[in-house]
Amino acid sequence: MNELQIEFTLNGRRIKRLVKPYWRLLDLLREELHFTGTKEGCGAGECGTCSVFVDGALIKSCLMPVAKIAGTEIQTVEGLARRDAPSLLQRAFHKTGASQCGYCIPGMVMAATAALRANAEADRDEIKERLGGNICRCTGYQKIIDAVELARDVINGAMPEAALEEEASDSFIGADVRRIDAPGKVTGALRYAGDMTLPDMLQMQVLRSTRAHARILSIDTSAAAALPGVEGVITCDDVPGKDGFGVFVHDQPVMARGKVRYVGEAIAAVAAEDLETAKEAVRRIVVEYEDLPAVFDPEEALAAGAPVLHDYAPDNLVKHIPIHKGNVDDGFGLADIIVENSYTTQQVEHAYLEPEAGLAYVDADGVVTILAPDQNITHHRHMLSDILALPINRIRLIMSPVGGGFGGKEDMIYQGMLALMAMKTLRPVRLVFTREESITVSAKRHPARINYKMGLRRDGRIVATEIRAVCDGGAYGFSTEGVMRKMAILGPGPYDIPNVKVDTYGVYTNNTPSGAFRTFGAMQSQFATESHLDLCAEKLGMDPFDLRKINAMRAGSTTHTQQSLERASLLQAFDAAIAASSWEAGPPTVRGSNRTDLGGEGTRRSCRLDSRLRVEAGKPDGTRVRGRGMAGSWYGIARTAAMDRAGAWVELDDGGTAKVITGVTEIGEGILTVLAQVAAEELGLTPADITLGDNDTARAPEAAHAGATRQTYMIANAVALAARDARSKFDREMAEHWGVAQDRIKAANGTIWVQGSNLRMSMAEAVALCKTQRGYVPVGSASYTAHHTGLDPVTGAGKPWQAYVFGCQVAEVEVDTVTGEVQVLGIWAAHDVGRAVNPRGVEGQIEGAVVQGLGQALMEEYKTVDGHSSTDSFAKYILPTSLDVPQINSIIIEDPDPLSPLGAKGIGEPALVPTVPAIINAIYDAVGIRINSLPATPEKVLEALRAKRKRMSSSEAA
């Protein structure tokens, strides 16, 4: 191999290096120079996380052979500004809440910098165009675009620099406190697992199945093991304990055992001194397969005689969840109209920008330690204890910064291999997935086929709802059982219906597994419900809001699981959405062309990609038609139909600061900032005074996973209670010191005082006094419990949650009748969150959820052909870009939960539920076609328009 000597300038410093001829600029930056602010999201120029300047031009460094950079000047995110003095643009990102998980953000900052360098006067449309090559999966882009506009205005003097600072606030709960983790994200300083190295570290690679269903006759690893530089090869034979993982059923071995059940399943892993050697070793492993009949359709898998995937489930059924209330046959007998329809939803990829990655080592005390972006280290430690046959405290999981999760990083798909390899080699090992590996191997959103039957009275009362959903769970159980449960419980929607029959079935097939994904099944079933209600509203000639209001759950309503609701904010959400969107009432009878509420200030301009052209495109030619739709939604907060709990420790610390220790899982949603706000408020400090401990199973109390929209509800409440505990002990000491009653002690913003006196001191002084004069360290702890009960196995009756949230979205779309393309121009999203601890963070969650919903409604579809992925890259798996997103108008409703010490509930998942049906209903309003099968691609829309024209011409002929 002919290595190349290259010289170049990196962020102003001359560098000379010998490089491999095939390296990309990205490899040189990351692996050789450790400039890890430049991320690798896809390796194919399809995501923009690796954007850097070369001689002043922004390029994607994964597409630049390193030989090209000889003699050039490279600028990376680290070179934009020192990280202790960020650029105006980076500060603007901090201010507007433009970073969530942060993985796309260095690239996004680079693209935004390039945009303003190219045109310091760029308007919003031009900014969006210039950011069109950078994908963000968390934010929905809105706050990113806001940040670029803010920076532009500050740079141009239209806004003062002070606009970049945080607004002063006396109270931290309810304030737009800037994210505490944003500075490290906007500067590229934060290191994710794939950015980390350990001395003497080995690189790991995985051999994966090329067969959908096959018996493994033999695995010959001898040639791999013999390769110089290979330090370890593992297969299922290396598992010392009880092999099996999964969220509800432990049906998946760490590596294939006896047979493979899907393409991409891990079979063996290799660790070597470098990545090239590890890959070469993987190529040398020989697997002898005997193909088995495979099944790729869930209905076929349920049929008698279908190939069986797992011996324990001869019917291929992962789980059936029934919810039966009243008697639907009686209900249908009372109905004036009965409406039936079928709906299908597609398999959807999480597409977090950070591919899976992790490091593992066995520490000096023999503790097997795994560092990974892991959404549920609590559960993974439990499972690893069985798999590795080690006491639970000999296993330690540390959560590395998570570059997006959305449920996809709840599954333990590689941590077991890392642990085994560290144990085998007794050296640190690192595994970093490629994008293709991430897409083909990780679990997806369950595709569902839903048969729907609803009976209504002429006045709009729903008298019976019957839903049957069959869902493809893929090859392993993952979260299927829980997804089926939530899909069923929430399926009929937030409506008081006397007779309900819901049956959801999760089924094994030889497809890529399905698992947890934001809403956990609730969006699939509620997409059907909210589409169906539009059908019914049209038949009844009713406004879609009116139909839903008649049936809306209210305080005192009984849920489908026969739980009596003490509160319900649905009507508030409906009224808020109507008011904010200036909704023009009327039945959903394709009113699009006659509406007068279109194109208002809550919408954006239709995208024409012409902001930089000096000439105008043609005038509207009548081929683009607009319309509006709406949908309601509900959601349960925290773990479903099971007791939920979270713990926290708090210590008032030297200097008037505090340590807050809890196993919280920040996956980008902003929970760390929420906890800092809550702790500051409760302790009388400021958020900057709070030191948050890592999520580490060996160092922090259990707070479990990021999921089920549970973290603000469970963990912020645990932190609030632990802070109150610490404060109460501290106040007791201070009261004794001052000789006053404890209830007169107050503290805020770093000062403590006695009410009605002039006794006061700083918290720093008070903590020192408490320790040195009182001899007391003020520590507190707490656990917060949500008292949920399981469901009756026959009727589904039970109390799955104690807190519910309700929401409503209105969508305005433009359908291009030439191409079938749908642009969503505006979304009005009204959501109850209980209490918004950080309103800007709530907006960020709503915006991100809406755009994920938009992706599912219009473009995203994970496809397989005989079990082989045909959408294994971001070129084929299409995600929304900055040019595809609507203006999102968030309306926050606060209906505090009486059982929550903070009143707060949650927003992470619920905001995604109504987006898809609102968009689909709006398409109907615009052009009179109903898309029952997601996504509404341009092809599907035009096909439906063709069919509609055919119907109309044949009915005219008749």
Residues 764-823 binding another protein (CB under 8 A) are: 815, 817-821, 823
Site for another protein in 926-955 (CB under 8 A): 926-928, 937-939, 942-943, 945-946, 948-949, 952
Residue of the chain from 89, 144, 383, 625 that contacts another protein (CB under 8 A):
625
- Least Å distance between CB 208 and another protein? 8
Residue among 82, 117, 279, 699 that touches another protein (CB under 8 A): 279
Q: Among 347, 434, 499, 519, which residue interacts with another protein (rule: CB under 8 A)?
A: 434
The residue within the footprint of another protein, chosen from 9, 15, 33, 65 (CB under 8 A), is: 65
Site string for another protein, 204-233 (x = CB under 8 A): -x-xx-x-----------------------
Nearer to another protein (CB atom), residue 255 or residue 370: 255
Measured from the CB atom, the residue of 657 and 881 that comes closer to another protein is 881
The angle that helices 415-425 and 377-388 make with each other, rounded to 10 degrees, is: 50
Nearest Cα neighbor of 447 from 223, 607, 297, 606 is 297
- Cβ neighbours for 276, distance < 8 A, ≥ 6 positions apart: none
Burial of 773 (0-12, 13-18, 19+ CB in 10 A): exposed
Q: Shortest CA distance to 626 belongs to which of 311, 886, 442?
A: 886
The Cα 62–Cα 55 span in angstroms is: 16
Give the nearest distance from C-beta 607 to another protein in angstroms: 5
* Distance between CA atoms of residues 401 and 663, nearest Å: 13
Residues 94-113 that bind another protein (CB under 8 A): 111
Which of 15, 33, 44, 777 touches another protein (CB under 8 A)?
44
Among 617, 794, 865, 958, binds another protein (CB under 8 A): 617
Residues 853-892 vs another protein: string with x where CB under 8 A? -----xx---------x--xx-x--xxxxxxx--------
Query: 686 or 871: whose CB is closer to another protein?
Result: 871
Q: For another protein, which residue of 30, 39, 60, 143 counts as binding (CB under 8 A)? A: 60
By beta-carbon proximity to another protein, the closer residue of 19 and 570 is: 19
Place of tokens 């409906």: 574
762: exposed, middle or buried (C-beta count within 10 Å: 0-12, 13-18, 19+)? middle
Map residue 486 onto helix, strand or coil. helix
Q: What would the two tokens of residue 791 be?
A: 């469901």
What is d(CA 473, CA 249) in angstroms, rounded to the nearest whole number?
Answer: 13
The Cα 166–Cα 175 span in angstroms is 10
User: Residue 2 or 954: which CB sits closer to another protein?
Assistant: 2
Beta bridge partners of 892: 831
Interactions with another protein, residue window 511-550 (CB under 8 A): none
Q: How far is the CB of 942 from another protein (least distance, A)?
A: 5
Cis peptide before 314 (omega within 30 of 0): no
Residue 354 or 895 having the CB closest to another protein: 354
Which runs of consecutive H residues, i.e. helices, occur in 142-194?
Answer: 142-155, 182-186
**Is 23 buried (19+), middle (13-18) or exposed (0-12) by CB count in 10 A?**
buried
Stretch that binds another protein, among 187-195, 243-251, 766-774, 923-931 (CB under 8 A): 923-931
Burial class (CB within 10 angstroms; exposed 0-12, middle 13-18, buried 19+) of 302? middle
- Contact region with another protein (CB under 8 A), list: 201-209, 411-419, 658-666, 732-740: 201-209
By beta-carbon proximity to another protein, the closer residue of 490 and 942 is 942
Asked if 423 and 368 touch (Cβ cutoff 8 Å), the reply is: yes
CA distance linking residue 28 with residue 557, whole number of Å: 62
By CB under 8 A, tell whether 28 contacts another protein.
Answer: no
Judged by CB under 8 A, which of 297, 436, 694, 765 binds another protein? 436
Given the complex with another protein, which of 479 and 882 has the nearer CB atom? 882
Residue closer to another protein (CB basis): 624 or 737? 624
Q: Stretches 17-25, 72-80, 795-803, 840-848: which one binds another protein (CB under 8 A)? A: 17-25
At closest approach, how far in Å is the CB of 475 from another protein? 19
The one among 59, 309, 786, 827 contacting another protein by CB under 8 A: 59
d(CA 651, CA 311): 51
Cβ 856 vs Cβ 916: under 8 Å: yes
Our CB check for another protein shows the closer of 131 and 674 to be: 131
Least Å from the CB of residue 409 to another protein: 21
Residues 574-603 that bind another protein (CB under 8 A): 593
Given candidates 4, 317, 550, 759, which one binds another protein under the rule CB under 8 A? 4
Whole-angstrom Cα distance, residue 14 to residue 920? Answer: 55
Instruction: Decide whether 115 or 537 has the Cβ nearer to another protein.
Output: 115
Which is nearer to another protein, 912 or 927 (by Cβ)?
A: 927
Among 28, 30, 39, 46, contact with another protein (rule: CB under 8 A): 46
The interface region with another protein, picked from 173-181, 366-374, 429-437, 505-513 by CB under 8 A, is 429-437
* Three-state secondary-structure class, residue 160: coil
* Residue 901 touching another protein (CB under 8 A): no
Residue pair 661/699 in contact (Cβ under 8 Å)? The answer is yes
Piece of the chain touching another protein by CB under 8 A; list 16-24, 86-94, 358-366, 420-428: 16-24
Residue choice 121, 365, 621, 743 for contact with another protein (CB under 8 A)? 621
* Integer Cα distance of 357 and 373 in angstroms: 7
Which helix (DSSP H) or strand (DSSP E) does residue 205 occupy?
A: strand 202-208
Q: What is the contact mask toward another protein in residues 115 to 154, using x (rule: CB under 8 A)?
A: --------------xx-xx---------------------
Nearest to 518 by CA among 418, 667, 372, 696: 667
Residue 59 or 829: the one with the smaller Cβ distance to another protein is: 59
Using rule CB under 8 A, residue 24 touches another protein: yes
One of 305, 366, 622, 775 touching another protein (CB under 8 A)? 622
CA dist list (Å): 228 to 186, 225, 392, 673: 41, 8, 35, 48
Q: Categorise residue 28: left if φ over 0, alpha if ψ from -120 to 50, beta otherwise.
A: alpha
Of 157 and 622, nearer to another protein (C-beta) is 622
User: Does residue 397 belong to the site contacting another protein (CB under 8 A)?
Assistant: no
Q: Which is nearer to another protein, 57 or 585 (CB)?
A: 57
Q: How many residues in total does the chain contain?
A: 958
- CA–CA dist 643, 664 (Å, integer): 18
Q: What's the min distance (Å) between Cβ of 286 and another protein?
A: 12
Interface with another protein (CB under 8 A), residue total 90
What is d(CA 299, CA 130) in angstroms, rounded to the nearest whole number?
45
Q: What Rg value do the Cα atoms of the chain yield, rounded?
A: 28
Q: Is 464 helix (H, G, I), strand (E, B) or coil?
A: strand
Nearer to another protein, 392 or 875 (CB): 875
Find out whether 544 and 537 touch, Cβ atoms under 8 Å.
Answer: yes
φ, ψ dihedrals at 706, nearest 5°:
-85, 105
Min dist CB 821 to another protein, Å, is: 6
51 forms part of the interface with another protein (CB under 8 A): yes
What stretches of 535-669 adopt beta strand conformation (E)? 624-636, 644-653, 657-661
Let me know the angle formed at the C-alpha of 19 by 16 and 21, rounded to the nearest 5 degrees: 135
Minimal distance, residue 931 CB to another protein, in Å: 15
**Among residues 114, 201, 740, 777, which is the contact residue for another protein, using CB under 8 A?**
114
Q: How far is the CB of 532 from another protein (least distance, A)?
A: 23
Nearest to 503 by CA among 520, 485, 515: 485
